[in-house]
Structure 1
Amino acid sequence: MKAGTYKVKAKGHGSSFMPMEVTLSDNAIQRIRVDASGETSGIADEVFKRLPAKIVKGQTLNVDTVAGATISSRGVVDGVAEAITLAGGDATEWKQRAKPEAATQAAQVEEYQTDVVVVGAGGAGLAAATRSLQHDKQVVILEKFPQLGGNTTRAGGPMNAADPDWQRGFTALTGEKETLEQLANTPLEQIDPEYRTDFERLREQIKEYIASGAQYLFDSNLLHEIQTYLGGKREDLAGHEIHGQYQLVKTLVDNALDSVKWLADLGVKFDQTDVTMPVGALWQRGHKPVEPMGYAFIHVLGDWVTEYGATILTETRAENLLMENGRVVGVVAHKTDGTKVTVRAKSVFLTAGGFGANTPMVQKYNTYWKHIDDDIATTNSPAITGDGISLGQEAGAELTGMGFIQLMPVSDPATGELFTGLQTPPENFIMVNQEGKRFVNEFAERDTLEDTINKYNSYVDAGHDPEFGKSAFHLKCEVAPFYATPRKPAIHHTMGGLAIDEYGHVLDKAGQVIAGLYSAGENAGGLHAGNRLGGNSLADIFTFGRLAADTAAQENG
């Protein structure tokens, strides 16, 4: 090979390409530098720590990808391969070399005694861990992947919470008042009994707002509650109806703003100049962090639990619960090097996410979609395989809503990723099929193109969509250049999980509390029912993760 430093670009996860500098001698790889500034922070951090060092040390491109960051791992390998080719070397030969020898050691045993053990270090788990530390508890965190974050790192960022005083500073979008009027006119008999009192109170709020002639953005906890309830109300293929459990929905909407303030106190910076609305959110109530995507939350909480003394065990998979006299008292886990880890604790939190990256499990439980393809993509981290649900079942936990699977309609056709192609809020994009025809309400919970666009622009002017009932509009599609991006549905969220109450207790099949066991986030079910509104997931994980920690601290000393 010709010695030198070669500048190449490799395909990454969040950005189109990652710039790389690879320094080669005539027969060796000496140094690899990756500019990952365009990458999704948190998702691939471990790639850029581990992989270049492993390649240089082993002098081989036959290296295993880092779990949870396959695309970025392959990007690094491909970038080095390109540099070798440019230097006149044989990249194929480098890829066929022996893998680096794994360090061998005798099987180890580790034991911990603690107040709290958290299984799964995504947003819900880190919220529970952080809040437990604030209660002066000793905390052990088990995470099967090399890095913290789970699905939260991949989240879009906006977190739903009604904040009327803040939202009054923004102007309502065209069509939003009509949406409120339509909602208020819903016949009372179509509302489930437990929600009727709150719905009638919301009607009065809407009536007063409309009568005032105000142009500001209206919101309230009641509107968030009723939209969450109606947005999740679904029937499966057999005609079985499901809707969000009242106490869970009520707890979410009444505590979500406190969760935003709690996160801000911990150091998350929110953009107060913009109220946002993710795909399928139904309303502008999203609190968007300044930093990109869900990593804004993960890096603050991850830094916090590290600074305040949590024991964090990554690459450690929880495999069984410890039970004594009907109480959950700990977890047995194994590290990737074979070390057995036993953690005995007063409180056990299952926050390992749903099962969106486990297609066979999705197919097993699905009762909503007529068919789930074997090769369907997912927006989820590969870590999201239902581990926490299976652990809960060991303790006799009830499952709820497992048949309802949410697909994300605007995913990358090849990878299932969310943040590729063009990014724009639903009030400003138009979804068309391969014939150029519009086929859906782009704002909903989830003959030529020219004619389609002209029709759509007329609906923007009128503030009314007679075809699909889109309820909010902002920009018309009329000023060139125009952009298009291919999209395809991918598994996004699994609404079902362990049955919990509003305090975060896991419940058994008789509806009784399983002592010592708590859950939050996508590991639990009952809140979102048949469909999760965009922006409600982050509100869910940080609210119920925090409140469950409060419950455990109060109950277990």
Structure 2
Amino acid sequence: MPAVQNYDVVVIGAGGAGFAAAVEAKSKGANVVLIEKMPTVGGNSLISGAEMNVPNSWVQNKLNIKDDTPARMAADTLKGGDFKGDPEIVGVMTVNALPTAEWLRDTVGVNFEKDNVFQFGGHSRKRALIPEGHTGTEVITKFSALADKMGIPVITNMKAEELVKDKDGRVVAVKAVSGDKEYTFNAKGGVVLATGGFGANAQMVKKYNPNIDERFKTTDAPGTTGEALYMAEKAGGQLVNMGYIQTYPICDPISGVIELIADARFDGAILVNQEGKRFVEELERRDVISNAILKQPGAYCYVLWNDNIGKISNTVKIHDTEYQAFTKQGIMHTSDTLKGAADFFHIPYANLKATVDRVNQMAKDGGKDLDFHNRGGLKDMSTGKYYIIKAVPSTHHTMGGLKINTKAEVLDKNGKPIPGLFAAGEVTGTTHGTNRLGGNAYTDIMVFGRIAGDGAAAEAKAR
């Protein structure tokens, strides 16, 4: 491979945002390259559940959810981030959510479940589209195939180390290394940073948020280490909101990975502590649930559901591999009786029975949760089998990063765009405020990935 290569657009990071940017730029006639420091593509976008919030989607319409709008989703998003997100950025994300989802479906070829949407914590409506398989594999596989078909080179094991500017302050190239060799990728139109956050860099996390310390493992892909943020800062980019770091509340105590099977809580599963008592609304914001868990005995909790819930929960059905693995690890147990579930984890049975009896009574009375106001309603758990899994919070998403405008242009410390530098996804820090609502990451990365790719391609044409 030549040490110096010339392109219209150079995209750094082959996750969802990077693929969206590369495909969009290529579709606008640009000559594009996508470079990735890890041996494989996908990053967090691959291991994510990949649900994508979309107001007024075709699936909502099929399910007769007729009153959702971009404005309603924007209001939920801003409130969920304690109004620290940029309203203009959030507005662009929500308005473009539907056309971007349709693009994923029709152009990229992503298959979404046709009759099912999630309502994540903090959302006022069920609005998250769900890809087949309930992970990002469906999305990244389709992106990879499309990039190959379009002739977009995807170069792995290539770590970007420096953004090169010309005498006018424009970003015109990327210096990168692969093994012991150095490469320069010239970018006529611009460089798109789509490198993700820094959730897998424990030292960096603790630096910006000392409360998230050695107690926490991470859900993130190993490449999510944040060096590109400093690379961009050195090129003049402004870092904002770096202390806003989210933990995911329901994770494997051993590895730190998300327990996707325990998303049964979106279908009625309850959270209980070691004393067998509920302590928080199961559909609350992620940060609220995480903080509540850390205050419980041992700083962990259990997710409990029965066959009544499992039979209606697609997320339980689809994650049989997790079921087998977590059961083998001893952090998950199945029992014909509630007592068996309690005894396995040494939970006082009388307490757990009282908790479940109360849930059953409220379920019988229409599902209204008088104790914690579960917005999805409570489900009957009077009969087995019972499924119970132990869970802890893990570092999950870094809301801080580069400040961008609505064109996905990276801004300097004076709020001015840096010519030739674009960014999208978790590397940016202006969308989510203090807390990202579930399902908003995929909307964010896809919408702004496309905007960044389009902008860089336009710059190439203009030069």
TM bin (shorter chain): 0.7 to 0.9
Cα distance change, pair 525–285 in 1 and its aligned pair in 2 (3 A): same
2:89 alignment partner in structure 1: 248
Give the letter for the 2:396 counterpart: H
- How far, CA to CA, are the matches of 1:358 and 1:110 in structure 2? 30
Q: Which moved more, 1:310-319 or 1:246-255?
A: 310-319
Distance 1:309 1:116 in 2: 14
- TM-score, normalising length from structure 2? 0.81
Out of 469-478 and 246-255, give the one that drifted further: 469-478
For structure 1, which runs of at least 5 residues remain unmatched after alignment? 1-107, 172-215, 234-241
Corresponding letter in the other structure for 1:334: V
CA positional deviation for 1:381 = 0.2
Q: 1:313 to 1:375 in 2, by over 3 A?
A: farther
Asked whether the equivalents of residues 216 and 394 of structure 2 are also in contact (C-alpha less than 8 Å), the reply is yes
What's the counterpart of residue 99 of structure 2?
A: 258
Q: Normalising by the residue count of structure 1, what TM-score does the alignment of the two structures yield?
A: 0.68
d(CA) in 2 for partners of 1:359, 1:436: 32
Matched to 1:301, the amino acid is: F
* C-alpha distance in 2 between matches for 1:474 and 1:440: 13
Distance in 1, Cα, partners of 2:254 & 2:144: 31
Counterpart check, 1:391 vs 2:231: yes
Query: Structure 2: any 5+ residue segments left out of the alignment?
Result: 287-349
| Aligned partner (choices 80, 101, 117) of residue 231 of structure 1 | 80
Cα 1:110–1:280 shift into 2, 3 Å? farther
**How much does 1:425 deviate?**
4.1
Aligned 8 A contact 1:422 1:485 in 2: yes
1:514 aligns with 418
Q: Which residue of 2 aligns with 1:155?
A: 48
Q: Could you tell me how far 1:110 is from its partner in structure 2?
A: 1.4
Q: Name the structure 2 match of 1:120.
A: 13
Matches of 2:262 and 2:154 in 1, distance apart? 37
After TM superposition, the structure 1 = structure 2 runs for residues 305-320 of structure 1, keeping only pairs within 5 Å, are 305-320=147-162
1:483 lines up with 2:387 in the alignment: yes
Larger radius of gyration: 1
Pick closer, same or farther for the CA change 1:364–1:282 going to 2, 3 Å.
Answer: farther
Return the alpha-carbon distance in structure 2 between the equivalents of residues 376 and 523 of structure 1.
21
Within-5 A mapping of 1:282-321:
282-321=124-163
- Tell whether the 8 Å contact from 2:30 to 2:460 is kept in structure 1 after alignment: no
Distance apart, 1:498 and its partner CA: 0.1
* Aligned residue identity for 1:445: R
Partner secondary structure for residue 390 of structure 2: coil
CA distance in 1, matches of 2:126, 2:254: 30
Asked whether the 8 Å contact 2:9–2:460 carries over to 1, the reply is no
- Shift of residue 306 of structure 1? 1.6
Change (3 A) 1:294 1:272: same
User: Hey, what's the Cα distance between the residues in 2 that align with 1:307 and 1:426?
Assistant: 38
> Per-residue displacement from partner, 1:184-238 (whole Å, max 9, x unpaired)?
xxxxxxxxxxxxxxxxxxxxxxxxxxxxxxxx563111211110110111xxxxx
How many residues align? The count is 394
Pick one of 176, 182, 206 that aligns with 1:363.
206
Task: Show the counterpart of 1:327.
Answer: 170
- What is the CA distance between 1:463 and its match in structure 2? 4.1
1:542–1:248 distance in 2 versus 1, CA, 3 Å = same
Superimposed CA distance per residue, residues 440-498 of structure 1 (whole angstroms, 9 cap, x where no aligned partner): 11111127111111222333334433332321225222221111000000001000110
Amino acid in the other structure paired with 1:507: L
Partners of 2:265 and 2:432 lie apart in 1 by 22
Question: What SS is found at the alignment partner of 1:448?
Answer: helix
Partner of residue 494 from structure 1, selected from 378, 394, 398:
398
3-state secondary structure, aligned to 1:509: coil
1:52-99 CA distance string (max 9 Å, x none):
xxxxxxxxxxxxxxxxxxxxxxxxxxxxxxxxxxxxxxxxxxxxxxxx
2:38 is aligned, of 145, 170, 181, to 145
Quote how far apart the aligned CAs of 1:422 are: 4.4
Identity of matched residues, %: 38
Separation (CA, whole Å) in 1 of partners of 2:211 and 2:71: 36
| Separation (CA, whole Å) in 2 of partners of 1:282 and 1:326 | 44
SS in 2 for 1:355: coil
Map 1:55-454; keep pairs closer than 5 Å: 110-163=3-56, 166-170=59-63, 216=65, 218-233=67-82, 243-265=84-106, 266-278=108-120, 281-324=123-166, 325-335=168-178, 337-346=179-188, 347-366=190-209, 371-374=211-214, 376-419=216-259, 422-446=262-286, 448-454=351-357
**Cα root mean square deviation, aligned:** 1.9
Conserved? CA contact 2:120–2:283, under 8 Å: no
Asked if structure 1 preserves the Cα contact closer than 8 Å seen for 2:163 and 2:175, the reply is yes
Tell me what 2:301 maps to.
Answer: none
Q: Secondary structure at 2:98's aligned position in 1?
A: helix
Give the corresponding residue for 2:314.
none
* Distance in 1 separating the partners of 2:432 and 2:191: 23
Give SS of 1:424's match: helix
Deviations 1:126-151 (A, max 9, x none): 10001011011111111011111010
Letter in 2 for 1:391: M
